[in-house]
Structure 1
């Protein structure tokens, strides 16, 4: 039992380091951030930080994985709450686009977005596929209950919807507050029985 609680404490410490790292990356950008900056933000020494992560790239990849793990939990929760289709879609779309707001508000947003194409590309690909599967499973379940109509398979529908959401990740980001509900209304109409 002690091993499990130790592991939980280690995971909690890693998550706290990663949460602090996101703030530092947003403030200084990935390239200008040093391991010393990350250690200071996490309230530890640089040697202590190396006990948890090999380097800055390891932190960025782990941060991306943690983001998608949290997003998967949030996506399941958003889809589990019953309500009008448009509201469920809007909640799930907000989960899918949650990271964009943090990046958009950073003066280094372009650099951080580019990071996803290089350093953490594999974690993004895996995490995005996981979110799409969760959404597709929900679509399949709701279609099976007769609550919505699909054109093609649930997986195809989820892919099309998530591809459309990717288009909302383009500046200017101040449109997200209007674009997310509008996109939810559009797809709700398309999925109506």
Structure 2
């Protein structure tokens, strides 16, 4: 029997990529499974073999985003450099891949999915990334590179809340705000 795992994974990735583009173009509410099937180059019944419904597809997108983001954040936090530089790299890693959503006319609606359709995936993904920041903060504190009068977990939660806070309209300020946020945290922790 032939192993089609790679072929199936490629098909799922094609569907997810098409779904992200379609959601960005039409918004989540206005996108139908027919739209998603057409964008994926398949019939609606074929699409249902991969995803139960639009919500299942959206949750898969969110899980994939957080899996990629966690890996990129871990790599960024493993770099050497000033806390400011490392945090900027980690913040960029966390927000990497969100450009299509944030540049879309439907960016706000798509971000709100994290509070409704894919809330569980967001909670799990945020916790994973918070843990990475917690571990980095603990290591930096032990090395004497940063100083703070709180639990590392609390500082990591504040970092994540601040990152979430810069994902607000107008979205064209995110890059500038990201740099400012890294400076504020980096310099504040370095004192």
Query: TM-score surpassing 0.5?
Result: yes
SS of 1:169's equivalent?
Answer: coil
Of 76-85 and 46-55, the range deviating more from structure 2: 76-85
Question: What is residue 116 of structure 2 aligned with on the other side?
Answer: 118
1:19 matched to 2:38:
no
1:38 is displaced (CA, Å) by: 1.0
Separation in structure 2 between the aligned mates of residue 159 and residue 39 of structure 1, nearest angstrom: 38
Of 147, 150, 159 in structure 1, the residue corresponding to residue 145 of structure 2 is: 147
Of 99, 107, 110 in structure 2, the residue corresponding to residue 109 of structure 1 is: 107
Separation in structure 1 between the aligned mates of residue 105 and residue 170 of structure 2, nearest angstrom: 13
Question: What is residue 58 of structure 1 aligned with on the other side?
Answer: 56
Of 115, 134, 137 in structure 2, the residue corresponding to residue 136 of structure 1 is: 134
1:167 matched to 2:172:
no
Tell me if structure 2 keeps the 8 A contact 1:151–1:157.
Answer: no
Of 55-64 and 134-143, the range deviating more from structure 2: 134-143
1:43 is displaced (CA, Å) by: 2.1
Separation in structure 2 between the aligned mates of residue 111 and residue 156 of structure 1, nearest angstrom: 29
Mind listing any 5+ residue stretches in structure 1 that lack a counterpart?
Answer: none
Q: Deviations over 1:119-177 (max 9, x none)?
A: 11111111111111111111112222222223222111101111122221111111112
SS of 1:96's equivalent?
Answer: helix
Separation in structure 2 between the aligned mates of residue 151 and residue 12 of structure 1, nearest angstrom: 47
Question: What is residue 78 of structure 1 aligned with on the other side?
Answer: 76
Aligned-residue CA RMSD in angstroms? 1.9
TM-score of the pair, normalised by structure 1: 0.90
1:96 is displaced (CA, Å) by: 2.4
SS of 1:58's equivalent?
Answer: helix
